[in-house]
Chain A
Amino acid sequence: MSKHPQSLRVVITDDEAPARSRIKDLLEDCAGSFPLELAGEAASGRELLALLEETPADVVILDIRMPEMDGLEVAQHMLKLPEPPSVIFTTAYSDHALKAFELHAVDYLLKPIRLRRLHDALTRVRAITPLRFDVLQQITPDARTHLSVQERGKVVLIPVPEILYLRAELKYVTIRTVLREFLLEEPLSKLEQEFGDQFVRIHRSCLVAKAQIAGFEREGGGDGEARWVVTLAGLDEKLPVSRRQQHIVKELGRTVL
């Protein structure tokens, strides 16, 4: 493949080795008619994000069904990169989900991939509108398995089961794990919608992971009025429960304790 200054840098991501090698073959065929370059290969979303930190790319050919983190989620994390590459999804399914792709003009290729289709997709890749976070969120029905934040040009993945709580600050949401805090630029209300079955709102500005709640305690307030606080597993911090959310003490107290 030619190393042309304007050549298109392509990364292939698929958990199945034969699927990757098939795309590689096809890319070689394409390379004859326009300049492109294979920037790298990844077998998982995590590998892809690590690869992109070191190797900038113009386009990622991304399989949708992958273990750990599916392609649609990976694409959401990729948007945290300073210059996110374009995405061409690949899938063996041709089910109703693809209607949503077409609706939002998201590019995809059906497996087995045809040379001409890949060629067309690569030709127009610079022209298509970049993916939008909200569009990806609409397309995928499942909650993400990780949250991601940008730190010094890199995407840091935080597995959702490790999160203790999410707290809205002025402009950000703080993600708290046992080890440290991260700053996330997403509205808390959207997070509550997405992770409603794993997290519970204990306060206007705080969502706590149900699995991380160690218990509830009654604490005397400064004005002599007692209030409920949440204690956490693995972290010596007490989170106040607002008056409006007092009912969750009753609801969760039974299942948690």
Chain B
Amino acid sequence: MTWLSACSAVIFGLNQPMASINQNRYPNLLPNFRNLGVMLRLIVIVFGMTIFGAALKSANWVDMHDQWLSISALAQPMLILSLLLLGLADRWLHRLDYPLAVAVIVAVELGIASLVVIATWSVITPGTPGLVRTGFFTAVATLLVLAYFNLRSRMLSPALTEARLQALQARIRPHFLFNSINAVLSLVRSEPRRAETALEDLADLFRVLMADNRDLVPLEREVELCRQYLGLETLRLGDRLRVQWQVDKMPADALVPPLLLQPLLENAVYHGIEPSMEPGVISIQISSDRDRMQMLLSNPFRETGSHHSGNKMALANIRERLSLHFDAEASLQTRTSDGHYEVRITLPYVREKA
């Protein structure tokens, strides 16, 4: 193997050392071209490259400005066309093998480059780069950008990070498990049927908690899990826990990270309901418009002071998973206002691919 092919193998993962760990041979090394975060990154990178190119070619500041303008005159239309075409072809590209997809993208970029150069031939003043040079730079730039996204996706999702995320996910508060079992035990003699249901719910909950939670799940299933969880908590907290669901307009088929809401509800119970003898309301609102979803969770805010670390950990974990799955398109915000603690999640409305 030559040095070059060794390099390209490392950068583009042509021979996958991780194939035995990852189930699909080529994990998400190709960016999602429809993702806002990816688009923003592309724009910033291309902008940076034009400035860099201008700086290399010019002797002084004034000259650099001119150079930058003439490079941009080519680069900007190319960028816009690329974003458009790659966005349209995104699904199709992701179905290809990674090396083939890379080759296709480079070819597309070369096509766009020649198109733009030919189209602007008459407009641009002499001294602008010719077809061959432009093509060469385009190919190099495309490969660099793809290498960047490849490295980034490896950095974000190697086996180690996933293991850590899963470990965090599994960190359901042990006191919930033991208190629930205790509550179920109290039902065994007096209300055996309720005890049965409760144990089944507990089993479902732990099945999800211990599952491989890398893939997105339908929102419907997450909501069902939350209902089971809250049912168990009602068992022991009785009237103190009141729940308001506003999910009639919820897109049941939307895909969300598993355990997106349950840990937040667990926090709500722990910090908002348990510290008081008075009844408290936890409310869950889920709504969507065409391509975005909003979730709003609210619980009574009770200043207890001492134990907030669990809360922060759950929030950080969910934020991390949201950004892994949706990059800049999802957000999680919290706020406290007149006695209520609110968590607001915004994320794209993604459906199962047909």
B277 at the interface (CB under 8 A from A): yes
Whether B350 is near chain A, meaning CB under 8 Å from some CB there, is no
Q: Is B182 an interface residue (CB 8 A)?
A: yes
Complex Cα gap A247–B181 (Å): 55
Contact A16 B277 (CB under 8 A): no
* Bound CA–CA A21/B238 (angstroms): 13
Q: A250 CB to closest chain B CB, in angstroms?
A: 27
Partner of A21 from the list B174, B186, B275, B277 (CB cut-off 8 Å) is B186
Cβ of A22 and Cβ of B182 under 8 Å apart? Answer: yes
Query: Counting CB contacts under 8 A, is B306 at the interface?
Result: yes
Is the CB–CB distance between B186 and A22 below 8 Å?
Answer: yes
Instruction: Tell me whether B190 and A111 are in contact (CB under 8 A).
Output: no
In the complex, A65→B237 CA distance in Å?
13
Which listed residue (B174, B178, B181, B277) contacts A43, Cβ 8 A? B277
Count of A-B contacts with CB under 8 A? 58
Considering the complex, give the chain B residue whose CB is closest to the CB of A43.
Answer: B277
Q: How far is the CA of A18 from the CA of B306 in the complex (A)?
A: 26
Residue-by-residue, is A87-125 near B (CB-CB < 8 Å gives 1, otherwise 0)?
Answer: 000001110000000000000001111000000000000
A17-B178 contact in complex given A68-B276, A68-B277, A112-B185, C-beta closer than 8 Å? no
- B interface: dominant SS: helix
Partner of B179 from the list A17, A25, A92 (CB cut-off 8 Å) is A92
CB nearest neighbor in B for A93: B175
Q: Which of these, B175, B186, B275, B276, contacts A18 with CB under 8 Å?
A: B186
B179 touches A16 (CB 8 A): yes
Q: Which residues of A contact B275 (CB under 8 A)?
A: 67-68
CA distance in complex: A94, B276 (Å): 23
Q: List 15 extra interface pairs beyond A16-B183, A67-B277, CB under 8 A.
A: A16-B236, A16-B237, A17-B236, A19-B179, A19-B236, A21-B190, A22-B185, A43-B277, A68-B277, A92-B174, A92-B178, A93-B178, A94-B174, A110-B178, A112-B185
Listed in ascending order, the chain A residues whose CB lies under 8 Å from chain B are 15-19, 21-22, 25, 43-44, 65, 67-68, 92-94, 110-113, 142
A-B contacts, 22 of them at CB < 8 A, read A16-B179, A17-B238, A19-B182, A19-B186, A21-B190, A22-B182, A25-B186, A25-B189, A67-B276, A68-B275, A92-B175, A92-B178, A92-B182, A93-B174, A93-B175, A93-B178, A94-B174, A111-B179, A111-B181, A111-B182, A112-B185, A113-B182
